[in-house]
Amino acid sequence: TSRRKFIKISALGLGGVAASTSALNMFGANTYLDDLVKQNVATKFKRTATYCEVCFWKCAAWAYTNEEGEIIKLKGNEIDPHCNGRLCPRGTGGVGMYNDGDRLKTPLIRTTINGEQTYREASWDEALDLIASKMKDVKSKYGAESFALLKHGSPGSHLEHLFKSYGSDTIAEPAYAQCRGPRETGFGLTVGSWIGSPEPTDIRDTKCLVLIGSHIGENMHNTQVQEMSDAIDNGATIITVDPRLSTAASKSEHWLAIKPSTDIALLLAWMHVLIYENLYNKEYVDKYGYGLKELKEHVKDFTPEWAYGITTIKPEEIRKTARIMAAAAPSTIIHPGRHVVWYGDDSQRERAIAMLNGLLGSWGNRGGFYFKEKIKIPKYPQPAYPTPKWGWEEIGEKYPYAEMGITSELIKATIPNENTEHPIKGWIVAGTNLINTVPDREMILKAMDALEFFVVIDTMPMEITGYADVVLPECTYLERYDGIRSATNREPSIALRQPVAKPKYKSKPAWWISKQIGERLGLHDYFDYNDFEDVIKWQLNKLGTSLDEMKKIGVKKFERKSGPLFLEKGQDYEFATNSGKIEFYSDELASKGFDPMPIYTPHPEPPQGYYRLNYGRSPMHTFSRTINNPNLSALKDTNKLWINPKVARILDLRNEQVVWLENQDGIISTFSIKVRVTERIRWDSVYLYHGFGHNDKKLTRAFGKGISDTEMISKVHIDPLMGGTGLRGNFVKILTEDPHKNIEI
Ligand code: MGD
Ligand code: SF4
């Protein structure tokens, strides 16, 4: 049995504080307050600038507080290029994070009472002293490198500073190997630039937008959704490739209901049509392209007829859509997507997408991709970081194109292995719920079991917190300072986050936690300020503004310095690739033994009686972090299992019927889910929204609601280029009898 038993944080009766109902209902019900805010009856409401952390689009917002200091509303900042004054429903509901009565309230330390593992409340000093002493221990026994940081979002950057000061670069975040990594590798190898966030897609001026497994609209990335809706109004053609009729697909002229896992075949066939029908942008490719001859030879036999047999998309449909893209070019975007870890050949699929954009001349052209720019935030004075002996790079060294830590490799490396030169003995996990985020739960449990010491810093009693030795309650983004936002966009801008309200309970910001631990480790010189406000003040002054000014405006725009958004006609331009051109053929990949041009490889098919497990986003939620949010749970509190009517007939299932899932490895879902019979999903797949199925009872709204897709993902297909974990090769069968009958969960 596991040494590190999962502790339900409610065990000590710490809970009991009812969820506050002071949060505004987001839509309509509070028009009175809305009106007041609109008219800015500002004497009653104070307005404070911040930026959102409900997802990582980081929209700048105004938070309105009443005389009692309660947050009553969040609104988008009008001048912010990330939101144009409008927050998405999740962002508006961010106030629910602050008001959630289930929040972590005090530091907790794991203890054993009468043989039972439980948590006891601790003071901040006691918890921080314990963490610092364990970090010293690990450093003296194994080296600082053996303490790892798994992080996501703003808290992660403060902890990263602590870790680097302490001497560890053993750091990873799920936004890489479980999300965007392959896209950055594929585009980096082809056009010499990462896509980054926000994506530099000029959707508002596009004439043709092609979405491949990217469901903008359900996946709410604010300005992308706004621009897509403008593009539709302006008559742009939308082509959606998805085994599911997503919201985007329903707005599309062409929905290609592709057989899952065959996208590369479609991309190759599209390239075939563009090249062999002479539809590609010849002038652009002649000037900026490298290796067209090899590509032409490569795609010779990849005809639409060939692809039909693989993708189930009719040859005429493939030809027609390729011609539409070409007619709109260069104002055509084949969207790179965002969560792209699907089948293990994801960097190559992304490369194919980049190549297709290259053939159309979209990169650097209006209505295609613009040249992004961002402001570099000056570094607050500090000594240089020590150089670790090893870190994330050595752990991921099998993957030559890994440019960030690979979460899953770091977790795997924590499981003891006699030959390892890189033992990992301690973790701090900040802002990531690994249990519902990284696939292969058994591996995570084994790794956590092997740890000598384990800290979780979170705002909520999420699943991961139950395994920690010490749990630290962070305050929410509405109660703290964080780093100045600077992200790539058409025009560079910065945005301020500052406390809107006082931290509730005993919660503290991650910058403070990091500084406290740092000082206990003797790292004073790296934390030479009293308050993070001092750091921000210093940085803003260097940027030619001030904290006072930023408090008034929230967002500041800067002029572009890197040149125009788009290429001038005939302009000389060097892409940051080895050849200085868009690489249709990659000598670099060939020299490392990889395919220099993408190829289609068949992927395993569901066995008899099983369906491919497909998952995606709900517009009301971000991953697993928002499911318990009182405002957002009121809008959507569970997921459903989408199944095709044909499957419903075969299995004799009806709408709303309660079912369970069992995957190819015999893993049975902890909870049940209701069926939604719909033509919107292919007959070979089932679909559910990601993030649901929480199994921590302390999450009073989220517990037991729906099935966790992550729980059913035990098989991963690893991208050999950069270590991404392809998650979409899992198959499930549908159980109609309760498999847990007589078993207490
Ligand atoms: P969440 O599950 O939302 O996502 O991975 P995660 O970021 O781990 O967990 C976030 C955690 O951060 C929660 O425990 C939340 O309470 C905590 N948190 C929220 N705000 C704060 C804060 O201000 N401070 C602190 N300290 N903690 C906070 C996301 C990752 O998941 C990504 S980026 C993608 S794209 C992948 N998506 C995905 C998928 O679609 N399906 C499956 N099966 N797995 C996936 N994994 C990846
Ligand atoms: Fe917040 Fe929505 Fe913007 Fe994401 S897209 S940062 S959730 S308002």
ipTM comes to 0.96
How far apart are the C-alpha atoms of 415 and 450, rounded to whole Å? Answer: 6
Q: Rounded to an integer, what distance in angstroms lies between the CA atom of residue 124 and that of residue 486?
A: 32
Residue 436 CA to ligand 1 centre (angstroms) = 8
Ligand 2 centroid – CA 82 distance (Å): 9
Q: How many helices (H) and strands (E) does the chain have?
A: 24, 27
pLDDT band at 220 (very low <50, low <70, confident <90, very high): confident
Q: Give alpha helix (H) positions in 53-150.
A: 89-92, 95-99, 124-141
Cβ atoms of residues 260 and 728 within 8 Å:
yes
pLDDT tens-digit series, residues 391-430? 999 999 999 999 999 999 999 999 999 888 999 999 999 9
pLDDT reading at 291 higher than 90 = yes
Distance CA 625, CA 386 (A): 34
Task: State whether the beta carbon of 526 lies less than 6 angstroms from ligand 1.
Answer: no
Q: What is the pLDDT of residues 519-573, one digit of tens each?
A: 999 999 999 999 999 999 999 999 999 999 999 999 999 999 999 999 999 999 9
Contact 403, 128 (CB under 8 A): no
Q: What spacing in Å lies between the alpha carbon of 89 and ligand 2's midpoint?
A: 8
71: helix, coil or strand? strand
Sheet of 493-495: strand order equals 485-486, 493-495, 555-557
pLDDT for 3: 60
- Judging by DSSP bridges, how do beta strands 108-113 and 116-121 pair with one another? antiparallel
What type of residue is 584?
Answer: F
At 394, which helix (H) or strand (E)? helix 392-395
Quick check: 130 pLDDT over 80?
Answer: yes
The number of angstroms, rounded, from the C-alpha of 73 to the middle of its chain's C-alpha atoms is 25
Q: What pLDDT band is residue 745 in, cutting at 50, 70 and 90?
A: low
Cα–ligand 2 centroid distance for 180 (angstroms): 18
Q: Which residues pair with 256 in a beta bridge?
A: 241
Q: Which residue minimizes the CA distance to atom 4 of ligand 2? A: 55
Closest CA to 239 of 217, 261, 211: 211
Best mutation site among 623, 628, 699, 713 for ligand 1 pocket (most ligand atoms within 8 Å of CB) = 623
The pairing of strands 555-557 and 493-495 is antiparallel
CA distance 216 to 644: 22
- SS3 sequence, 173-236? CHHHHHHHHHHHHHHHHHHCCCCCCCCCECHHHCCEEEEECCCECCECCHHHHHHHHHHHHCCC
Question: Is there an atom of ligand 2 within 6 Å of 620 CB?
Answer: no
As given in the structure block, the two tokens for residue 199 are: 């994506």
- The secondary structure of residue 531, as a DSSP letter, is S
Exposure class string for 251-281: b at 16+ Cβ within 10 A, else e: bbebbbbbbbbbbbbbbbbbbbbbbeeebbb
**C-alpha–C-alpha distance, residues 196 and 163, integer Å:** 24
What is the distance between the alpha carbons of residues 647 and 650, in angstroms, rounded to a whole number? 5
Q: Report the SS3 class of residue 669.
A: coil
Ordered by where they begin, the domains of the chain are 108-176+391-484+507-542 (3.40.50.740), 197-371+577-591 (3.40.228.10), 611-735 (2.40.40.20)
The two tokens of residue 282 are: 């010849």
The answer for residues whose C-beta is within 8 angstroms of residue 13's C-beta and 6 or more apart is: none
Query: From the CB of 485, is ligand 2 less than 6 Å away?
Result: no
Ligand minimally distant from the alpha carbon of residue 87: 2
- Per-residue model confidence (pLDDT) at position 419: 86
pLDDT above 50: residue 506: yes
Closest ligand to C-alpha of residue 53 is 2
pLDDT per residue as tens digits for the range 237-290: 999 999 999 989 998 999 999 999 999 999 999 999 999 999 999 999 999 999
Q: 91 alpha carbon to ligand 2 midpoint, in Å?
A: 5
Q: What is the pLDDT of residues 295-352, one digit of tens each?
A: 999 999 999 999 999 999 999 999 999 999 999 999 999 999 999 999 999 999 999 9
What separation in Å is there between the alpha carbon of 618 and the centre of ligand 1?
14
The dihedrals phi and psi of 61, each to the nearest 5 degrees, come to -140, 160
